[in-house]
Amino acid sequence: MSDDSWEQGLRVRKEVLGEAHVERSLANVSEFSRPVQEYVTSSCWGDVWTRPGLDRRTRSLLNLGMLTALNRMHEFAVHVRGAVTNGCTEQEIQETLLQTAAYCGAPAALESFRVAERVLGELRAEKGEAGS
């Protein structure tokens, strides 16, 4: 793991998922799970998310489709927040999930719609609270 990949990955991960989420994830890491957190931060976030070929919005929408296909709802919920941070609209998220219904199956898409709706509602509520 290069220091550059780690530093870039940590920066991008915080920008997309939020500093509080990333700090909480890293603070709760055990010695057993530390290597996978280092891998994810360095390789996924540092080497892949920093590539110039796709913008962050596109990467976020792709992640939502892939996480739906894999039925990884915890990570899916995290990436719904990230997609909004990256400028994805609710309509783009909805259309991405509708696409998964055709290619991943209705049960997978239905679960993702439920989780996305919950997270988007939480984000709207947080935004409303912040504006009060």
Q: Any idea what the CATH number is for the domain that residue 91 is in?
A: 1.20.1290.10
Question: Is the same domain home to 23 and 66?
Answer: no
Q: pTM of the full predicted structure?
A: 0.91
Question: Is the same domain home to 5 and 37?
Answer: yes
- What's the pLDDT band for 3 if we cut at 50, 70, 90? confident
Question: Is the same domain home to 66 and 119?
Answer: yes
Question: Is the same domain home to 117 and 68?
Answer: yes
pLDDT in tens, 12-53: 999 999 999 999 999 999 999 999 999 999 999 999 999 999
Question: Which tokens belong to 30?
Answer: 């055990």
Question: Is the same domain home to 70 and 120?
Answer: yes
Question: Is the same domain home to 90 and 132?
Answer: yes
Cα→Cα distances 65→5, 49, 103, 113, Å: 25, 16, 10, 11
Dist. CA 10–CA 78, nearest whole Å: 16
With the CA atoms of 57, 60, 62 and 63 taken in that order, what torsion angle do they form, in degrees rounded to the nearest 10?
A: 170
Domain extent for 116: 54-132
